[in-house]
Structure formats: structure tokens, C-alpha cells
Amino acid sequence: MLVSAKEMLTKAKAGHYAVGQFNINNLEWTKAVLLTAQELNSPVILGVSEGAGKYMCGYKTVASMVSAMIDELKITVPVALHLDHGSYEGAFKCIEAGFSSIMFDGSHYPINENIEKTTELVKICAEKGLSLEAEVGSIGGEEDGVVGAGEIADPNECKSIADLGVTMLAAGIGNIHGKYPENWAGLNFDALDAIQQLTGDMPLVLHGGTGIPEDMIKKAISLGVAKINVNTECQLTFAAATRKYIEDGKDLSGKGFDPRKLLAPGFEAIKETVKEKMELFGSVNKA
């Protein structure tokens, strides 16, 4: 059964570890993440961007697939199905479709409009028992057409959004989506510390978890980050494993062209990546 992310993130913040949000892109992705979470006894958040939702035939299809898979695979660890970087309209569609957690990314709006729209969604999500993530200060890089320059969030604006009653807060601290460039300046821990000082027990979210050095990940967790998003790294390992399978000619041997065989190495690569991240984040045996 799908659950809100509230309880798992409250426990993570208090216990000084983080729950991974692993974005899903198809059935293999979803199955790999769910099985790994169950094997490691870890809570998990399945992230769905608006683009991925469209690719997978709509939010209702995704919610039905995930719910059925949890049942068929006998998944007992807490699982939240979460809209990632949702628009205002997308948030309502996912609420209707049966998602258990929503992110409304209002970071590109003026702060007053971000507050106004977030306030409305806080009320609706509270009524339905869903968790809600808000964002202040856009995350660098590009995701589904939303481009951010890696802004540093204003701690006072973060407090204004946190005080609305959201479940978790994503704050830009120099993190970016996708691969990190060689000249990346790193995370701004002074900003993160200032944000935590003003937002108290609010679980903080680190987007762009791919490629951030382990010591920075651990320091971010020590400063209140309780949810870390991973997407690109799973895509890269999936692609590399699939490429090797084809370059080795295995798709030309016997029935190696069967998609169940063709996609198997990538599936296993996702599982290994998720396992590494759960161990790094400290969520193993925290279900």
C-alpha cells in the first residue's frame, strides 16, 4: 500500500539519515527500486516527473502499475509515490490519480505567488492525507524543460514556505540536475545550515543527488537533509549495462534479443545503484 512520505521523513530527520527518492521511468525501473528497498528493509520514495508520467501513459497508469506491483511483489516496506517537480496543474492531476505524495515546484514564481499556490495545496493534501514538498530557489540544470541556474535559496523565504505546513522543503544550495560539471563549486553548507536554523524540524530535500561526493552527502544529512533524489545515476548505469550487453553481441545469441533478456543487465545495474545509495544515505533497516 502506498503511504505518505511524512512519517518516513520525520523519522529520517530525527535519526540523521535520508530516504532516497529514485525516479522511475518504466516497469523495469519500478520493479528494481521496489525489490531493492524490500531486500534492504528500507523506506523508499518513487519519483515521477511530469515528462516520465506522460511517457508512461499518464499518472493513473503509473499509480495503478505501482500499486499492483507492490501487491504482486509482496512489498511491505513503506513506499511513497511522489510527483517530482510538479506544476500547479500537474499536482492536481496526481492527487486525482492516486499519488501519495506531491511536489509543487513554485520556485520559478515570485515568492508571494509561490506562497499563495502552496497554501492551497497544503490544505488539499492535508485533507487527503498526502505529503507535500515545496521548493525555494531553483535547482540547477534542466528537468522536463524547467531550467535552473543553481540558485541559493533565501533562508527567510524558506521559512515563509515551511511555515505554511508543507511536509518537506527543497532548497537550492548550489545543487544541479544531471551530471555535475568539473568546475562545480560544491554545495553551500552555510546556506543549508541557515535554512535549517529557521525551518527547525522540517525535513529538507536535496535534489540532484547524482555525482555529489559522499562526504558532501553525509554533511548535508547532518544539516537536516532527510530526502535525497537520484535519477541520472540510475539512467547512466542502466545505459552502460545495456550498451555492454549489445556490444558483446549477446542480443544476437539465441533469444538474446528478447526484451526480458536485453533489459536484464540494466535492471540489475539499477538495483546495484539503488543499493549503494541506500547504504550511503543510511536508510537500510529503517523501514
Please confirm, yes or no, whether 163 is among the known catalytic residues. Answer: no
Helices (H), the chain: 6-15, 27-40, 50-55, 59-72, 88-97, 111-128, 155-162, 189-199, 214-222, 232-247, 259-262, 264-281
Q: Are 234 and 273 in contact (CB under 8 A)?
A: yes
DSSP assignment of 121-136, as one string?
Answer: HHHHHHHHT-EEEEEE
Q: Which residues, including other chains, have CB under 8 Å from residue 258's CB and lie 6 or more apart?
A: none
Burial class (CB in 10 A: 0-12, 13-18, 19+), 1: exposed
Of 84, 105, 190, 248, the active-site residue reads 84
Q: DSSP string spanning 175-240?
A: -BSSSPPTT-----HHHHHHHHHHHTTPPEEE---TT--HHHHHHHHHTTEEEEEE-HHHHHHHHH
Burial of 272 (0-12, 13-18, 19+ CB in 10 A): middle
Phi, psi of 164 (to 5 degrees): -75, -20
Give the separation between CA 221 and CA 19, rounded to whole angstroms.
10
Q: Give CA separation, 241 vs 13, 25, 212, 268, 273, in Å.
A: 34, 16, 22, 9, 12
- What residues does 131 pair with on adjacent strands? 101
Which residues belong to the active site?
84
